Amino acid sequence: MPFSYWEHKTWLSNIDFTIIGSGIVGLNSAIRLREKFPKAKILVLERGILPNGASTKNAGFACFGSLSEILDDLNTHSEEEVLQLVQKRFQGLKLLRKNLGDSIIDYTPNGGYELFTTSDHNLYETCLSKIEDINSFLKPIFKDNVFHKKSNVFNFKNIQPQYVVNQFEGQVDTGKMMDALLCKTQICDIRILNNCSVQAITDTNDTVEIKTDHFTLSSNKVLIATNGFASQFGLNRVKPARAQVLITKPIQNLHIKGTFHLDKGYYYFRNIDNRILFGGGRNMDFKGEETTESGQTELIQQKLEEILQTVILPGTNFEIDRRWSGIMGVGSQKKSIVNQLSNNVFCGVRLGGMGVAIGSLVGRELADLL
């Protein structure tokens, strides 16, 4: 359907900056561009009715890595690289809270807990033995000990007798966080077009031609912020990783409070509105979950319910209220990719499942490339 003169003039012409993706990175980059270029015309294109990756589908963990994850990273990255990863996540969380406000995003510092199953004895003993070393390693960032041991106060079953507790971890309400970001974007006079899928971008050196499923437009600069969908634009160092999630109906007298990691972080759960939100299981089928398709699989959903019954809520009656999935962007390295791809095209992708922690910072870094 052809656009009217008014539609073309207002939304689709004389565009200075186009951001592809309206998730945490995309909206933060748009807001930062408005700060840098007060009179610029800024457009955000989003393939979904709501952000279509993981920004509105994540678990709302304000975290920077469990003890076992940090130890695992030290096996594949240098000490300096791991310290930079943690530093960036910590700074990103502070930026998120500063930009939106703790009360608006329901930031709650309930702490983070890493659990170890009874079959994870070797990992459990290794982590306990390394607490002091990692606390010393991280002290330049946090100025205090991050991890300590605690007994099983939540009465989980089939786990080792102690947790490793992270005193700096918290949780946010993902919906409120993204709604606040969208409101801030609108206040900044930034237009968002939803249900608009970008099919191709072509940098002609003078401008960038953007072909969508509805129209073709030109923009002076383009910023790609599609994370798990980045391979569509030739960013093959980013692989999609689907995360399946479920949430229970409200549970009377639920005493569990905090963010919890299990099995090296491949499973994770938290309390929210007297419910348990529980996700993970990608390690059961890495290849099958390397997809940009939303949905659930019986294999992983059954495993999530099994762990709910045997570990998290033993002896408690519960019902599943809702199931969904989100698409993360991962790769062989955990450092996010914030690069200039051509004269007029830039990207901020591969957040490695840490979008809540680093999305605000990556969005700012992406805009600051211009």
Q: Which of 85, 333, 347, 344 is nearest to 235 (CA)?
A: 347
Residue-level pLDDT at 289: 97
Supply the pLDDT for residue 237.
94
Grade residue 1 by pLDDT with cuts at 50, 70 and 90: low
Cα–Cα distance for residue pair 358/30, rounded to 1 Å: 16
Average pLDDT over residues 317-335: 95
Structural domain boundaries in the chain: 5-57+175-236+333-367, 61-174+238-329
8 A C-beta contact, residue 170 and residue 110: yes
State pLDDT tens for residues 126-175: 999 999 999 999 999 999 999 999 999 999 999 999 999 999 999 999 99
Provide CATH code, domain 61-174+238-329.
3.30.9.10
Q: Are 169 and 111 in contact (CB under 8 A)?
A: yes
CATH architecture of 5-57+175-236+333-367: 3-Layer(bba) Sandwich (3.50)
Q: Is 155 left (phi over 0), alpha (psi -120 to 50) or beta?
A: left
| 339-365 per-position pLDDT tens digit | 999 999 999 999 999 999 999 999 999
pLDDT of residue 53: 85
